[in-house]
Amino acid sequence: MRVHSVEAIAIEIPLTKNFGGSTYAVRKRCTVITRMRTDAGLVSEVYNGDNREHGREIVRLIHEELAPRVTGLSIFEGERIWETLFALTHATRERKTLLEAIACVDCALWDLRGKARGESVSALLGGSRASLPIISIGGYYMDGKTHADIGREMEAYRQAGMAGCKFKVGGLTPEEDAKRVEVARKAAGSEFILAVDANRGWSVEDAERFAHLVEPLDLRWFEEPCHWYDDVGMMARVRRATRIPITAGQSELTHHGVRRLVEARAVDLVNFDASEGGGVTEWRRAALVCGAAGVQMAHHEEPQIAQHLLAAVAHGTYVECFADPERDPVWQAMWANRPPIKDGIMQVAQDPGFGLILDEGLVRRYRVA
């Protein structure tokens, strides 16, 4: 069964407010849908990324650079195809964008392989878990947001069936952010999973000070605590200074970057993102590196992809989503057959491939390329 054609669609949905972290702003929900067709009539249905800047460029790269290189190849030649596409990164400075485009193609191929064999991607990867705990990303900085609002936000996540929250920090002083996390913990209760994410917002000194302040709050992890320019070395210092597990990986583009995190003893968990780093094929390599080193695997966002990957490895942790309806209209409405969530658990889709059905009306409405 061979690739006949590839169609990529960029989606942009304006948001009602800014969902910002310590180092960025989010005012629209963007993603790229990839529909790859085979000569036997199978069509992939998968979307990748929460990209806010260059969805149109990803679509151009898929149509002009990647599709010509995969057309006519067997959908089962996964490694060969991936290496052929990855070779393009050696001659470009825009590697991040190119790897996001490669991820779209790679995930479409995995979707087609599952459909061809009548198995989910999780099953293709050897997974046996039928469900996973799910947490929401939240705690965003917003003008006028009070501690009482944080309490109501945590309660809303509980009502939405979430097992926990990954809470944004790093945008204020360590003392101010520690107080916000304390409010969240009190509102959510002791059984609620609470992690924090600084998005590379602090120096080593500030990260250590914050960690010491929040250690009594039973945090699941402290994600990307330190500035980008020497984050691996700085995270290793923070990790030695606190008993809170340290997490990173979403900013890495390959499993080689993940290996450097592990070798530096900088992390306890890795949240490598298949949609940022070349797709399922490269995520598997990162997972193998972590498994051999005793490092747990998370996944940055992307529940439609992450559910299959995390269910397929023994060291997988939680699926992440945006439970706030205003933050992710794709999760809330465009993913038409999203699996049920109850009591903090998400059922892993068992349909062939990624098992996604998208609302075609919403696709047409928000398509920009």
**3-14 sheet: strands from edge to edge:** 3-14, 28-38, 46-48
The answer to whether the CB of 10 falls within 8 A of the CB of 32 is yes
pLDDT band per the 50, 70, 90 thresholds, residue 274: very high
Q: 291-300 pLDDT, tens per residue?
A: 999 999 999 9
Output the pLDDT for position 289.
98
Q: 303-332 pLDDT, tens per residue?
A: 999 999 999 999 999 999 999 999 999 999
The answer to whether the CB of 58 falls within 8 A of the CB of 10 is yes
pLDDT at 87 over 90: yes
The answer to whether the CB of 202 falls within 8 A of the CB of 177 is no
Output the pLDDT for position 20.
83
Output the pLDDT for position 51.
81
CATH code for the domain defined by 123-347: 3.20.20.120
Average pLDDT, the chain: 97
DSSP character at residue 273: -
Instruction: Pick the closest to residue 133 from 156, 160, 161, 155 (CA basis).
Output: 161
Output the pLDDT for position 78.
95
**The one-letter amino acid at 64:** E
**The one-letter amino acid at 214:** V
User: Looking at the domain 3-118+359-366, which fold is it?
Assistant: Enolase-like; domain 1 (3.30.390)
Neighbours of 23 (CB within 10 A): 14
DSSP character at residue 343: T
* Comma-separated ranges of CATH 3.30.390.10 domains in the chain: 3-118+359-366
pLDDT at 357 over 90: yes
* Comma-separated ranges of CATH 3.20.20.120 domains in the chain: 123-347
